[in-house]
Amino acid sequence: MRTTVEISDEQRARLLALAAARGEKGFSKLVQEALDLYLEEIEGAERGARIERALASIGSVSDEVAERMSRVSREIRESWR
């Protein structure tokens, strides 16, 4: 898909130099690769933040509530049989 993106003259020059070093005429492929890497990094960071929040919640449930949850889970599993 074609689109228009504003970049600085310096960014354009650097992209063209990188593309030329790779034997490519334009820098579209470089921009695609950069976007893929950026999106993967952002998604990984969000996933990492969710994991950190989950780990931080360990121990936040009282023993009484944990026991009740465990008992209810057992009862539900037994009713499926």
Quote the tokens at residue 50. 């969710």
- pLDDT digit string (tens) for 4-45? 999 999 999 999 999 999 999 999 999 999 999 999 999 988
Question: How many angstroms separate the CA atoms of 7 and 72, rounded?
Answer: 58
Across 49-53, average pLDDT: 87
Question: How many angstroms separate the CA atoms of 16 and 10, rounded?
Answer: 10
Query: What pTM value is reported for the model?
Result: 0.56
Under the banding of pLDDT at 50, 70 and 90, the label for residue 80 is confident
Tallying the residues shown for the chain, one arrives at 81
Give how far Cα 20 sits from Cα of 25, 30, 63, Å: 6, 11, 64
Across 40-54, average pLDDT: 88
pLDDT at 70: 93
pLDDT at 81: 67
Per-domain residue ranges of the chain: 9-80
Q: At residue 53, does pLDDT exceed 70?
A: yes
